[in-house]
A and B are shown apart, each in its own frame.
Chain A
Amino acid sequence: MSMTDIVSAMNSTLGTQIGLVLFVSVFLVVVVRMFRRGNSVAHRRFASLPLSEARVVSTGAAQKGASNGGT
């Protein structure tokens, strides 16, 4: 019995149903997690990450457009 035989014998909507169940399950887990009260503080911090730069130590000079080396 080949894979083709097995899948051909299946109801063609079965895959869709499995997919939907998986999606809804994962979606609910994500939503539950997001809206747990305990996560609010962390999420406020994460939301500001683009605004929090690393500390500037010094500002030197380099040629316009030159590659800036690492340390």
Chain B
Amino acid sequence: MTSLAAPERWDDAARSGLEQTFTYDDAIVRQFMWVTVLWGVVAMAAGLFIALQLVLPELNLGIEYLSFGRLRPLHTNAAIFAFVGNGMFAGVYYSTQRLCKARMWSDALSNLHFWGWQAIIVAAAVTLPLGYTQGKEYAELEWPIDIAIALVWAGCFGVNFFMTLVKRREPHMYVALWFYIATIVTVSVLHIFNSLSVVAAPLKSYSVYAGVQDALVQWWYGHNAVAFFLTTPILGLMYYFMPKAAERPVFSYKLSIVHFWSLVFIYIWAGPHHLHYTALPEWASTLGMLFSLMLWMPSWGGMINGLMTLRGAWHKVTVDPVLKFFVVAVTFYGMSTFEGPLLSVKSVNALSHYTDWTIGHVHGGALGWNAMLFFGMAYWLMPRLYGTTLWSRKLAEWHFWISTLGICAYWLSMQWAGITQGLMWRAFDEAGALAYPDFVETVTKLAPMYWIRAAGGGLFVVGMFMCALNLILTWRAAPKEVPEVVYSAAPLGSNGHADPVYKSDLENVIPLGKLTDEITELSWHRRWERFPLRFAAFVLAAISVGTLLEAVPMFAIRSNIPTIETVTPYTPLELIGRDIYRAEGCYNCHSQMIRPIWAEVRRYGEYSKPGEFVYDHPFQWGSRRIGPDLHRVGGKYSHDWHVRHFENPRQVVQGSIMPTYGHLLEQAVPWHEVKPTMKAMRLLGVPYTPEEIDRGTEAAQLQAATMARELETQGGYQGMGDKKVIALIAYLQRLGTDISKAPADAAAGEEPKP
């Protein structure tokens, strides 16, 4: 049997003509590197600030824009999309040009990508503290910014990248490029489908999905944002920069290909593991767990491939800070991808979900894996980009040790905090009562761990500043004129993108035998490996399988979300209150999902049912319990208690770490938003009649006035009838109460139907 893999078959004979000269666009790489450093400082400083708020709740100085709920999305978006995103772009632009032996297809698109992405980040940094949010974790940005993201990502970055692949001079697309392709294709799909929403105002929109379905789509997006924004591109960078730094070829190219396809196919299924024991149907949750467990193998295959690339070069690790960063990064990749499947196991998840263990896990990935790999890449790349040497290797060494110490302190303290929380929440005394019935007991207990976390995070921030200083001084010490290198390589010939089709040379076999030989030789696979767009189509097919097989039954099977007769749409005032809940980012600290676990039912009340969320656009289940679950909070406290709690939580709950929300007692309810909001909800299928919408504002004002009178009779403040706090309390008092109504009560407020 003839093999197509012989070297001469890969050296395209048609390329023997004219060689072409070209340069690389390293200016764009430098730009992305500098903004990565800048946004890294911002993201990590914001993270440290909100971490400190958990032990010093007054640290926001009563300023609404600095509260935990508003700044946490800023921190996560800045860390993911600004810091890791820009770092990824820098590495992708550098390595793609070298691997393709071609300059980026369009300098204009590169620059549009750069400036467009920075504009998006600035828009996020302005709108999130102002409370403009879609209320979905890691997808908070409002619709105009979402559209800009899609255009810049696919229209500038994607087109430029794929056209560079098309125009490349290297026949084979190295595996790093495969990871970049998967990133671009999948992030586009995730972003577009998760962001689908109905617009109610210039900076206000509502998810087209509701409740359980919204949760599934959101965590399909959320988990795969981790997979395809924080993992696959970084793996591509690992497969390029580790061999460069170690001056060794990648350990096993075969393993890298198995790693790639397994990861791309399996990752997309794993999202539902974020929703164990929730109102998500069990089949979907189990599916998410099983595929998460399967992910362990390819992930560790990748980790082993990365570490083994250093075979014969381990002696360099002791003296080279770049390799040190890479080794720790890949090790953290291994630890995070072990911990992830572990946390997805239902019995473990029952303990860990909503706790700080998850926070430790994501920071192990984001700081230990992503940031450390970026630091290694930066110390290797920046001197080369400026034709000089690193200003101080010693400072880089210090950075390495401080950051490693910092992330270890962070990770371990959060694991400790998470397990402590989980155990305290489920602890019973001898009489069968909750051992810690006051939720706040489980919060104050965590203060030492929160201090250690803040210290660990602080060390990491210090390291980030050291990195910035080292790189700035490297730039300043560089020669004024950077040598511009002109390269030469042969273009791909007219058939340069295609291998010859394998023809079987077997003799004395029937045609079917020859056909089988040709198919199993798999030259077809190698051929489309070299066609970027066709390759992208196969990646799309791989991610579509998991997506469709989870999403279609979820949306189509009626029994997934049994209807509850007593569940009715929110009143106009409650709708506005829900908007305030979303704008303040309450879902960052409070869940609205009581799992069918005995300790939770004892603490919060009846477990949550899928049918209770059918009018929730977007769902607000949350993923943490810094504060208690709120799904059954309706009717639990008086209006007066709520007002005083918002004014200063420590007035009514000693030891609470919730920020003060005094502004809610001063700011007026945005009555003008009632009708547009109801109209948007009607478009989404919420059964408001046109008459109800017309009378919406009056109905909201009437309910607010009634509640204000009730507040006064409870001995509370006067004149709250037009303040935001009343709308928010109306929403909270409604939460979780529908299922306890008799059907007749639910229908009582409705017009009689003919």
> How many angstroms between the C-alpha atoms of A6 and B26 in the bound complex?
55
For B483, give its contact among A4, A12, A41, A59 (CB under 8 Å).
A59
| Contact of A68 with B26 at beta-carbon distance under 8 Å, contacts A46-B172, A61-B484 already known | yes
Q: Which of A29, A30, A42, A47 has the most CB of B within 10 A?
A: A47
Q: How many residues of B contact A (CB 8 A)?
A: 81
Q: How many residues of A contact B (CB 8 A)?
A: 57
| Contact of A51 with B247 at beta-carbon distance under 8 Å, contacts A38-B3, A66-B27 already known | yes
Taking a contact as CB atoms under 8 Å apart, the answer to whether B487 and A57 are in contact is: yes
List residues of A (22-67) whose CB comes within 8 Å of B's CBs.
22-23, 26-27, 29-36, 38-51, 53-67
For B243, give its contact among A35, A51, A55 (CB under 8 Å).
A51
Taking a contact as CB atoms under 8 Å apart, the answer to whether B170 and A49 are in contact is: yes
B636 at the interface (CB under 8 A from A): no
Taking a contact as CB atoms under 8 Å apart, the answer to whether B175 and A46 are in contact is: yes
> How many angstroms between the C-alpha atoms of A41 and B6 in the bound complex?
7
On chain A, the residues within 8 Å of B718 by CB distance are none
Taking a contact as CB atoms under 8 Å apart, the answer to whether B269 and A12 are in contact is: no
Nearest CB in chain A to that of B103: its residue: A70
**Contact string against A for B residues 471-494, beta-carbon threshold 8 Å, 1 for contact and 0 otherwise:** 000010011111111111100000
B250 at the interface (CB under 8 A from A): yes
- Whole-angstrom distance between the Cβ of B308 and the nearest chain A Cβ: 12
B311 at the interface (CB under 8 A from A): no
For A58, give its contact among B30, B265, B486 (CB under 8 Å).
B486
Taking a contact as CB atoms under 8 Å apart, the answer to whether B27 and A67 are in contact is: yes
B715 at the interface (CB under 8 A from A): no
A1 at the interface (CB under 8 A from B): no
List the one stretch of B123-131, B398-406, B550-558, B575-583 in contact with chain A.
Answer: B550-558
On chain B, the residues within 8 Å of A55 by CB distance are 19, 487-489
**Contact string against A for B residues 541-566, beta-carbon threshold 8 Å, 1 for contact and 0 otherwise:** 01001100110110011110000000
- Whole-angstrom distance between the Cβ of A58 and the nearest chain B Cβ: 5
Taking a contact as CB atoms under 8 Å apart, the answer to whether B483 and A19 are in contact is: no
- Whole-angstrom distance between the Cβ of A41 and the nearest chain B Cβ: 5
B25 at the interface (CB under 8 A from A): yes
B261 at the interface (CB under 8 A from A): yes
- Whole-angstrom distance between the Cβ of B566 and the nearest chain A Cβ: 24
> How many angstroms between the C-alpha atoms of A60 and B21 in the bound complex?
13
**Contact string against A for B residues 68-85, beta-carbon threshold 8 Å, 1 for contact and 0 otherwise:** 000000000000000000
> How many angstroms between the C-alpha atoms of A32 and B19 in the bound complex?
37
B24 at the interface (CB under 8 A from A): yes
Taking a contact as CB atoms under 8 Å apart, the answer to whether B261 and A45 are in contact is: no
Taking a contact as CB atoms under 8 Å apart, the answer to whether A19 and B485 are in contact is: no
Taking a contact as CB atoms under 8 Å apart, the answer to whether B27 and A15 are in contact is: no
- Whole-angstrom distance between the Cβ of B227 and the nearest chain A Cβ: 16
- Whole-angstrom distance between the Cβ of B176 and the nearest chain A Cβ: 8
- Whole-angstrom distance between the Cβ of A29 and the nearest chain B Cβ: 8
On chain B, the residues within 8 Å of A31 by CB distance are 258
> How many angstroms between the C-alpha atoms of A10 and B558 in the bound complex?
11
- Whole-angstrom distance between the Cβ of B177 and the nearest chain A Cβ: 10
For A27, give its contact among B95, B99, B261, B475 (CB under 8 Å).
B261
Taking a contact as CB atoms under 8 Å apart, the answer to whether A64 and B98 are in contact is: no
Taking a contact as CB atoms under 8 Å apart, the answer to whether B553 and A7 are in contact is: yes
Nearest CB in chain A to that of B34: its residue: A65
| Contact of A54 with B261 at beta-carbon distance under 8 Å, contacts A7-B552, A18-B549 already known | no
On chain A, the residues within 8 Å of B107 by CB distance are 67, 70
**Contact string against A for B residues 2-19, beta-carbon threshold 8 Å, 1 for contact and 0 otherwise:** 011111001000000001
Taking a contact as CB atoms under 8 Å apart, the answer to whether B556 and A4 are in contact is: yes
B23 at the interface (CB under 8 A from A): yes
Taking a contact as CB atoms under 8 Å apart, the answer to whether A15 and B25 are in contact is: no
> How many angstroms between the C-alpha atoms of A48 and B253 in the bound complex?
9
B206 at the interface (CB under 8 A from A): no
For A43, give its contact among B20, B103, B253, B525 (CB under 8 Å).
B253
> How many angstroms between the C-alpha atoms of A44 and B254 in the bound complex?
9
> How many angstroms between the C-alpha atoms of A64 and B249 in the bound complex?
32
On chain A, the residues within 8 Å of B545 by CB distance are 19, 22-23
For A50, give its contact among B1, B27, B243, B283 (CB under 8 Å).
B243
Nearest CB in chain A to that of B558: its residue: A8
On chain A, the residues within 8 Å of B239 by CB distance are 50
> How many angstroms between the C-alpha atoms of A42 and B7 in the bound complex?
7
Taking a contact as CB atoms under 8 Å apart, the answer to whether B482 and A64 are in contact is: yes
Nearest CB in chain A to that of B175: its residue: A46
> How many angstroms between the C-alpha atoms of A16 and B552 in the bound complex?
12
Taking a contact as CB atoms under 8 Å apart, the answer to whether B283 and A13 are in contact is: yes
> How many angstroms between the C-alpha atoms of A22 and B544 in the bound complex?
12
For B283, give its contact among A7, A12, A43 (CB under 8 Å).
A12
> How many angstroms between the C-alpha atoms of A13 and B525 in the bound complex?
31
For A64, give its contact among B243, B252, B265, B386 (CB under 8 Å).
B386
For A41, give its contact among B5, B484, B546 (CB under 8 Å).
B5
B679 at the interface (CB under 8 A from A): no
> How many angstroms between the C-alpha atoms of A37 and B669 in the bound complex?
72
> How many angstroms between the C-alpha atoms of A71 and B489 in the bound complex?
12
On chain A, the residues within 8 Å of B262 by CB distance are 27, 30
B287 at the interface (CB under 8 A from A): yes
| Contact of A16 with B484 at beta-carbon distance under 8 Å, contacts A23-B266, A49-B170, A70-B103 already known | no
For A49, give its contact among B99, B103, B265, B485 (CB under 8 Å).
B99
On chain B, the residues within 8 Å of A51 by CB distance are 243-244, 247, 249
**Contact string against A for B residues 590-615, beta-carbon threshold 8 Å, 1 for contact and 0 otherwise:** 00000000000000000000000000
B428 at the interface (CB under 8 A from A): no
Taking a contact as CB atoms under 8 Å apart, the answer to whether A26 and B22 are in contact is: no
Taking a contact as CB atoms under 8 Å apart, the answer to whether A50 and B240 are in contact is: yes
B169 at the interface (CB under 8 A from A): yes
On chain B, the residues within 8 Å of A4 by CB distance are 556-558
- Whole-angstrom distance between the Cβ of B251 and the nearest chain A Cβ: 8
> How many angstroms between the C-alpha atoms of A4 and B213 in the bound complex?
15
- Whole-angstrom distance between the Cβ of A49 and the nearest chain B Cβ: 4
- Whole-angstrom distance between the Cβ of B206 and the nearest chain A Cβ: 23
Taking a contact as CB atoms under 8 Å apart, the answer to whether A45 and B7 are in contact is: yes
Taking a contact as CB atoms under 8 Å apart, the answer to whether B174 and A50 are in contact is: yes
B257 at the interface (CB under 8 A from A): yes
Taking a contact as CB atoms under 8 Å apart, the answer to whether A15 and B553 are in contact is: yes
Taking a contact as CB atoms under 8 Å apart, the answer to whether A8 and B557 are in contact is: yes
Taking a contact as CB atoms under 8 Å apart, the answer to whether B253 and A46 are in contact is: yes
On chain B, the residues within 8 Å of A34 by CB distance are 254-255, 257-258
- Whole-angstrom distance between the Cβ of B664 and the nearest chain A Cβ: 42
> How many angstroms between the C-alpha atoms of A56 and B24 in the bound complex?
12
Nearest CB in chain A to that of B522: its residue: A33
For B7, give its contact among A10, A13, A41, A53 (CB under 8 Å).
A41
Q: List 11 interface pairs A-B (beta carbons < 8 Å), by A numbering.
A: A7-B552, A29-B525, A49-B99, A54-B169, A56-B488, A57-B21, A60-B484, A64-B386, A65-B386, A68-B26, A70-B25
Given A50-B99, A61-B484, 4 more pairs with CB closer than 8 A? A12-B283, A46-B172, A54-B487, A64-B475
Q: Which 8 A-B pairs have the closest CB atoms?
A: A38-B3, A7-B556, A67-B27, A54-B487, A15-B549, A42-B5, A47-B249, A34-B254
**Residue positions of B touching A, CB distance < 8 A:** 1, 3-7, 10, 19-28, 30, 95, 98-99, 101, 103, 107, 169-170, 172, 174-176, 239-241, 243-244, 247, 249-255, 257-258, 261-262, 265-266, 269, 281, 283, 287, 386, 475, 478-489, 520, 522, 525, 542, 545-546, 549-550, 552-553, 556-559
